[in-house]
Structure 1
Amino acid sequence: MEKNNVKRIHDFDQSIWLDFIDRKIMDTGELQKLIDEDGVRGVTSNPAIFEKAISSSSDYDADIKELSQQDLSNEDLFYKLAVRDIKRAADLFKPVYEEEVKGADGYISLEVSPYLARDTEGTIRQARELWEAVDRENVMIKIPGTAEGLPAIRTCISEGININVTLLFSLDRYETVANAYISGLEDRLEKNQPIDHIASVASFFLSRIDVMVDPVLKENGLNELYGEVAIASAKKAYEIYKRVFSSERFKKLEAKGARPQRLLWASTSSKNPDFSDTKYVEALIGPNTVNTIPMDTLEAFRDHGQASNTLENDLDKATRTLEQLKEAGIDLEDITQRLEEEGIEKFNQPYGKLLDAIAEQKKKALASNNS
């Protein structure tokens, strides 16, 4: 039997995680099927995914009704719901986590409140609470890679919490995040605590870069770079990854069992209809990386995706692409900073909607309980 196109990606030592979760996908057995047939090896979630899951179905109504009896804020009630889903998904992926190389994959990610993106102490506090609440070794807590998130990442890693660093657009910020991970491991080792079980990924966002850069390229007559900047940035990020995690500094930690913080490609659905729907998957397949993809992109790749080792192809072209931006006076750092701000807002909006929807359902539940 011919191997599934998505499964072929694993031949090149890249893991495919699903950027989606809801109860239906678990109740129907579809998630288990994705594990078995497509070789999906993890799940990422975010506030927008949960907002859609909770607001667009009745699957959570009974739980909301039950939890409405408790004296919970809307946010606390949401996290009670989310933690139930994350625990269940983590248990589904436990066999993947327990494979021969234990802890290589099988992780489920749950994000701290997007309202905390600029709040270091609040992020640390909530990351600890969520880690304790899910109580699963194959879970990662998502923390945004903002300037305020960096000390939170270091602290949480030092406390043995698996972290998925999200919302990365800039190469400089990515390198700072990789170093925050290493510092967290060093802090932990100084306390004579084990580091061989800690896992982390750095989620580098792709298609949103092109969405913001491409109009600027057109204005500057750089049409030949249209749709190329995100992939060029990702290839340069991988060069940084290889340099940082082959350094003498990291080798000392590796000798104690530390694992590199893998790069994870996020925002990999094509936002531009002119591009192939598998563009951001096909161009970045390579060793020791993860690609988290939404369902539509996974189905497209299953249907017509081409899997080959592409990540280190055309590195000179990637370097030249970023040089051409500089020469044209296009400040990529400024663009990536704007993308970070926009990214925070893109999570804040659905999160606000989600909390409003929970408030509305709580009200209905309380009214029906009192009638």
Structure 2
Amino acid sequence: MNPLLQCKTLGQSIWLDYIRRSLLQSGELARLLAEDGISGVTSNPAIFEKAIGGSDDYDAALAAAIGAGERDPQRLFEQLAIADIRAAADVLSPVYRETHGADGYVSLEVSPRLAMDEDATVREAQRLWQAVQRPNLMIKVPGTPAGIAALRRLTAQGINVNVTLLFARAAYRAVAQAYIDGLEDHAAQGGDPSRVASVASFFVSRIDTALDAEIERRAESTPEDAAALRALAGRIAIANAKLAYQDARQIYAQPRWGALAARGAGPQRLLWASTGTKNPAYSDVLYVEALIGPGTVNTLPPATLDAFRDHGRARVTLTEDVDQAQAVFAELARLRLPLDALTERLVEDGIRLFADAEQKLLAAVAAKRDALLQRAGSRGE
């Protein structure tokens, strides 16, 4: 069987970490749903920057918007992005209906410039939710303290949220708590908790990329610990994710959650993000094969999706070797590797990278706008 479809039978949803207008208009996304069981789509500013700035897929729509009088790059981008998100949501709507709202979502991110501003994040999320008008939309907010506070407020309002840029287990636990708090608030206000969904996007490969570099630096400066340090290379991110999954199992086994579950609420699923392998020395499906388990999501960029379809092996692995994952963390502590400081830096880096991508995106939209206006002017339009 196609290993992507096997993941589905094992209880894990596979989402596509990619969006582009040609993917939607060509029927390719619909084909991925039918043949590979893809059941969701995630987007971010970097993905839209490549899609809009690196293709001519959007030129006709841009020309139409400019012809209607729009000039602002931010509003031009939003018109394009919202059209794509709506189209993706419509392709995914059969999955949403068939799973009774458990799956079939597409994510749209608030501006990374608002990552440290709770109120602005809430306002932006509300505005995007109203603009898209699809029940299978998830609004992406960052896992900063401000984003976590916004998650509770948005969940209380019945808005689906994808919390992104999670690297630390402590941050994940805070996110799960905020989701439960928000659902309780929603129910207390007369809302139906069964109609609210959320995922917690827990990033994987970036942890190994950063810590492997630190391990090598430390190994060279402290040769007496070199062997022990290098034995941890490529193992920390998976151990971190497996222990976060254990955290989730404990959280959703509590009586407090049981009261919400009795009213039809669904748990906030862990979503494995950044699952494309960065180190060529590692398997290109390492972060897919090692993190398969029920009640989770893995969002894959196209290259990783293709690789896993071609030569991936699907079996439940999330609950394997948990004792080894704990041993990895014991070694981390013994060797004083700075995981906490590193995960904080990775959140900051992620926000900065998305903000940079947003700036590049708006600059590309502005450049295309100017070229289209110049072309129209030369024709005397």
TM-score, normalised via structure 1 length: 0.97
Are 2:174 and 1:167 aligned?
no
CA distance in 1, matches of 2:96, 2:369: 36
Are 2:313 and 1:303 aligned?
no
CA distance in 2, matches of 1:120, 1:49: 24
Mapped contact 2:101–2:197 kept (Cα < 8 A):
yes
Show the 5 A alignment for 1:181-192: 181-192=179-190
CA distance in 1, matches of 2:107, 2:230: 37
Mapped contact 2:32–2:38 kept (Cα < 8 A):
yes
Please name the residue that 2:32 is paired with: 34
1:78-120 CA-to-partner distances (Å, cap 9, x unmatched) read 1111010010011101111111x31121101111111111111
Please name the residue that 2:206 is paired with: 208
1:326-369 CA-to-partner distances (Å, cap 9, x unmatched) read 11111211110010011111111111100001111122233334
Are 2:360 and 1:353 aligned?
yes
CA distance in 2, matches of 1:70, 1:193: 40
SS at 2:194 equivalent: coil
Show the 5 A alignment for 1:109-128: 109-128=107-126
Mapped contact 2:70–2:76 kept (Cα < 8 A):
no
SS at 1:226 equivalent: coil
Are 2:117 and 1:96 aligned?
no
SS at 1:287 equivalent: coil
Mapped contact 2:71–2:369 kept (Cα < 8 A):
no
Please name the residue that 1:338 is paired with: 345
SS at 1:141 equivalent: strand
Are 2:313 and 1:312 aligned?
no
Please name the residue that 1:227 is paired with: 234
CA distance in 1, matches of 2:71, 2:251: 44
Cα displacement (A) at 1:71: 4.2
Cα displacement (A) at 1:72: 5.2
Please name the residue that 2:152 is paired with: 154
CA distance in 1, matches of 2:117, 2:64: 31
Q: Determine which of 256, 267, 271 is the counterpart of 1:264.
A: 271
How many residue pairs get aligned? The number is 368
SS at 1:93 equivalent: helix
CA distance in 2, matches of 1:264, 1:308: 17
Please name the residue that 1:249 is paired with: 256
1:15-38 CA-to-partner distances (Å, cap 9, x unmatched) read 000000101112222111111111
Larger displacement relative to structure 2 (357-366 or 168-177): 357-366
1:277-306 CA-to-partner distances (Å, cap 9, x unmatched) read 000000000010000000000100111000
Are 2:381 and 1:367 aligned?
no
Are 2:274 and 1:276 aligned?
no
Please name the residue that 1:18 is paired with: 16
CA distance in 1, matches of 2:96, 2:162: 16
SS at 2:139 equivalent: strand
CA distance in 1, matches of 2:269, 2:306: 24
CA distance in 1, matches of 2:214, 2:371: 48
Cα displacement (A) at 1:70: 3.3
1:242-264 CA-to-partner distances (Å, cap 9, x unmatched) read 11111111111111211100000
1:203-230 CA-to-partner distances (Å, cap 9, x unmatched) read 0000000000012223242111110000
Are 2:301 and 1:294 aligned?
yes
Mapped contact 2:141–2:162 kept (Cα < 8 A):
yes
Please name the residue that 1:325 is paired with: 332
1:40-67 CA-to-partner distances (Å, cap 9, x unmatched) read 0110001011000001111111211222
CA distance in 1, matches of 2:75, 2:151: 22
Mapped contact 2:102–2:266 kept (Cα < 8 A):
no
What value does the CA root-mean-square deviation take over the aligned residues? 1.1
Alignment-mate amino acid for residue 157 of structure 2: E
CA distance in 2, matches of 1:155, 1:327: 39
Larger displacement relative to structure 2 (273-282 or 129-138): 129-138
SS at 1:98 equivalent: helix
Larger displacement relative to structure 2 (228-237 or 240-249): 240-249
CA distance in 1, matches of 2:108, 2:153: 18
Alignment-mate amino acid for residue 306 of structure 2: E
Alignment-mate amino acid for residue 225 of structure 1: L
TM-score, normalised via structure 2 length: 0.94
1:148-201 CA-to-partner distances (Å, cap 9, x unmatched) read 111111111111100000000011000000001011111111212211110000
SS at 1:216 equivalent: helix
Please name the residue that 1:80 is paired with: 79
CA distance in 2, matches of 1:346, 1:240: 29
Are 2:45 and 1:47 aligned?
yes
Larger displacement relative to structure 2 (212-221 or 132-141): 212-221
Please name the residue that 2:223 is paired with: none
CA distance in 2, matches of 1:323, 1:80: 49
SS at 2:19 equivalent: coil
